[in-house]
Amino acid sequence: MLGLALSTSAPGIALGRGAVAPPRISTAVAFPGLSFDRPVALAQTPDDPSRLFVVEQHQAKIWTFPNQRDATDKQLFLQLPHPINRGNEEGLLGLAFHPHYKDNGWFYVYYSADDNGTRRSVVSRFQVSAEDPLKADPTSELRIWVSDVDRWENHNGGTIMFGPDDGFLYITLGDGGAAADPLSTGQNPRDWFGSILRIDVDNPSDGRAYGIPNDNPKLRSRAHAHWAPEVYCIGLRNVWKFSFDRETGELWAGDVGQDLWEMVHKIDNGGNYGWSIREGFHPFQPQRRQRPDPASKIRPPIAEYPHNPTPARPDAGLSITGGYVYRGEAIPELKGFYVYGDFESGRIWGLKREADKVTAAGEILDLKTSPKLNIASFAETPEGELLILAFDGRIHQIVPASR
């Protein structure tokens, strides 16, 4: 059974000859002595793998604890100092430590701001306390990037990460919310919605708290001159988690669908992933007669899975959670597989892509023998092993399947 849709007419997504089924996995609680309220992100500082940091969505808190299985003591690192919105998809959503955190003590958070009743998404920089390396200074906030007014509480994205090769900050936010892209933001590169953004937080320019990388689409291509300078790619409905392959640097994203399909994309500079003209490999509301942005041809996803199970496709779900390409040692046969899951169904898939061909794909977790988790986020340990943040409040780890 394959956890992807195939298209023989679109290059780079059909299974290659000799395709194999992916290895099987199980899950286990990684830190039995710890629990959290709606954990949605986990990170560690670039220089110290001995501690982990977990984001609680609606409590607006970041906790830190020792990276040890028997850890029982978590310490409050940051409580956001002002009100936030707490819709189901709002809150404190993202955390990223500056690549030179050891020297500057800077880290960045993405949250849903309540600015006197106005809803916006914000990326702010904070600094670690000068007196205590396990506490942040809540008075040090500097707003780096602030979205346009956000009319609806859903589709907020919220992942932020520094690119491993370029040191720029990548930000994802959804198409603005509601349903069916009512503002047609997906194919509008002049706004920030429905996109992944890329900014340079180390070199502010033009009155902004950030600069624009020279190879962002607007600056490197005449065809993209009409794009907003921050926009890295477009045509995304609501990326719920993206990640970089620690070996290749490739950017992968899980994009939440609308009515029928959930999508996996490999993200490239200047890419257009089709929303809201397409949902996965399929037309979306063609009666709207939308036109794709002229600068970038629509690219199909690498994989998709359906909302409604069928005999041919029983591997259904309702809300994708993007994961990571596995580079750990505990499950050697899983190396090189992009691992992703579904928040509602608890399913987990793996796919392997080599030379622009998917060579293996399918479900890798047996829900008959493993607990169903509401998978809010995947995370990667310093050793390349994969963790799962679930809404049972626990952090789980991916382990070899029981024999």
Contact 232, 170 (CB under 8 A): yes
| pLDDT confidence of residue 356 | 86
| pLDDT confidence of residue 19 | 62
Separation of alpha carbons 82 and 124, rounded Å: 12
Per the structure, the complete domain to which residue 297 belongs is given by 15-400
* Domain membership flag for residue 91: yes
Contact 14, 357 (CB under 8 A): yes
Higher pLDDT, residue 96 or 4? 96
The answer, yes or no, to whether residue 11 has pLDDT greater than 60, is no
| pLDDT confidence of residue 355 | 86
* Domain membership flag for residue 268: yes
The answer, yes or no, to whether residue 5 has pLDDT greater than 50, is no
Of the pLDDT bands very low, low, confident and very high (cuts 50, 70, 90), residue 7 is very low
The answer, yes or no, to whether residue 17 has pLDDT greater than 70, is no
Of the pLDDT bands very low, low, confident and very high (cuts 50, 70, 90), residue 20 is confident
The answer, yes or no, to whether residue 45 has pLDDT greater than 60, is yes
Of the pLDDT bands very low, low, confident and very high (cuts 50, 70, 90), residue 97 is very high
Q: Is 82 exposed, middle or buried (0-12, 13-18, 19+ CB in 10 A)?
A: exposed
* Domain membership flag for residue 300: yes
* Domain membership flag for residue 4: no
| pLDDT confidence of residue 14 | 40
* Domain membership flag for residue 383: yes
Separation of alpha carbons 181 and 177, rounded Å: 7
Separation of alpha carbons 20 and 33, rounded Å: 38
Separation of alpha carbons 398 and 387, rounded Å: 6
- 3-class DSSP state of 371: coil
Of the pLDDT bands very low, low, confident and very high (cuts 50, 70, 90), residue 177 is very high
CATH number at residue 367: 2.120.10.30
| pLDDT confidence of residue 243 | 98
H-state helical runs in 98-196 = 101-104
What's the structural domain count of the chain? 1
| pLDDT confidence of residue 18 | 55
Of the pLDDT bands very low, low, confident and very high (cuts 50, 70, 90), residue 402 is confident
Cα 149 to the chain's mean position, in Å?
A: 22
* Domain membership flag for residue 10: no
What percent of the chain has a predicted confidence (pLDDT) above 90?
92
Per-residue burial over 98-109, b if 16 or more Cβ lie within 10 Å, else e, is: bbebeeebbbbb
Separation of alpha carbons 249 and 149, rounded Å: 33
pLDDT tens digits, one per residue of 252-297: 999 999 999 999 999 999 999 999 999 999 999 999 989 999 999 9
Of the pLDDT bands very low, low, confident and very high (cuts 50, 70, 90), residue 403 is low
* Domain membership flag for residue 37: yes
Of the pLDDT bands very low, low, confident and very high (cuts 50, 70, 90), residue 311 is very high
| pLDDT confidence of residue 3 | 41
The answer, yes or no, to whether residue 66 has pLDDT greater than 90, is yes
pLDDT tens digits, one per residue of 357-393: 999 999 999 999 999 999 999 999 999 999 999 999 9
* Domain membership flag for residue 2: no
| pLDDT confidence of residue 12 | 32
